[in-house]
Chains A and B, each alone.
Chain A
């Protein structure tokens, strides 16, 4: 895996990390979803978060997206605290995300979904949009071309004008990645990108992830059940169990960590390729 080497190379120790999560605690009523979670993600790194169901993986993403507001701790992106910001602000700051259960705008076509990824890059507001001619039109064409390029890369061109709601699941997954790419993110959050995929699809997706990480240099956080995938492509891994961080380190260390093995053996399903989420 070349991506692994590449990622290690791009994050020299000593430079400040892109993302710094420190001592984040999140509670819902009496339930503690995350307890003192700390980690950092370096520029260009492919970081993975693993853990059994209910470990709090998606909760971390929701904190990074400012959907949830942790009661304690800080989340700094380039030194700016994300806690208390609006979710839309995180997009402007360079955080993009794909969702476990897909969150596409299903009445809109593929291109419009990709264009929404470029929402925070574009500037046309109500007034400029109303007038259309000139600025708004030029911006629209410019960004549409960019989205077409992304669609082409992801093999979405045949479906360009089809409302995404009627497209097959695998295509929708790719559209979601495309939308995240269209956002030109600095940090990409991938929530179980291969869930429900067969072996071939999983391999395709893995290749895509490595390519985005490697060629575009986008830092990533990958939440995944598929341990093989994680072990294959991630640089470093954080293991969570019921909201509590149990291990953090390079892939090799985590693989052999007894606590991680225990947490995973504790649940019925054995992690492996193609495991359904």
Chain B
């Protein structure tokens, strides 16, 4: 190849490049989103809602970013992600059977695998974002944190599948349930007024990460408001030996332990307590609980007994067989669309999360705008998210500033044989401290 033809080729390439620049490809959705914002205000009710990515005028497509596979992702998927997504799906199946949102717009879910990894999660997001109007579910704190700036840019709303209090402050997110901090506050407070007292030794055993911090923050707040000091706060790195921490709890004669763990560590912690002959009132936050701990036949008998005798779970919601309308509806939907579904707290969460999305979409339809910006606006028009007793109602008001996190937690005891292994001790329990708690900005 001689010099002349090389020069020709280079020239051609550059010309081609400039041509494409002028014609434009790339991120069309950003431009659509931008255009949509400008026209949102002029829309009015009654007419067909404005379309946008993920809404073609008949079907609303929602995204689910959840682990489906991966080294850690698989475990999270099996125990949490899969039942939660199934909860989303069963809810929408029942709504679609009645015509869909506002009786006419069917909803479909598009799931992308995050492998419980922020990098993969971002790619999952980029993969489906152009197809969806909003994110029904984003699971995993690190995955969601990496996604937050993009949600803002793309004007996409998302349902967080973790209970960090900070989600309340993000206008793109619509949390639905009591935060970890409040679960801690209420859990300890319930103990003080039911069997324990302020003079007992109250301690914390927490995972050393963001979730653990949230639990400890709540415990500190409750201690300050109720007027006692935490005897000791023990932390552990996930999947490490907990002998030293449990021994410390024992040495401090802790009567009650707020247990801020995930289900990966619950068994090891309790087995260590049994090994060290240590008995206390364990108040576990909901992520530490898995129904199969007491359901499966091969589980270790001493472990089961210990849980039944010593553990409470501070969570939200009610007994699986509760007569509240929210659960009646859920059980009916399960019977119809997922008859094999076992009672599962994460399924219930996913079901209610879809219910919240439904309420937001209804508002969007009423506003005549099912574009992303329209859905984002609808969050502020929903007023209060209502769950018919399945969860405490969540006051949203007109902006993130007016959102008020629900304060009640439900305290369960553990009973093998009942659905989810959970039996309500006190439904929707709210402590004095919980009413004044404000999540840090």
Check whether chain A touches chain B (CB < 8 angstroms).
no
Q: Name B's A-contacting residues (CB within 8 A).
A: none
Chain A residues in contact with chain B, CB under 8 A? none
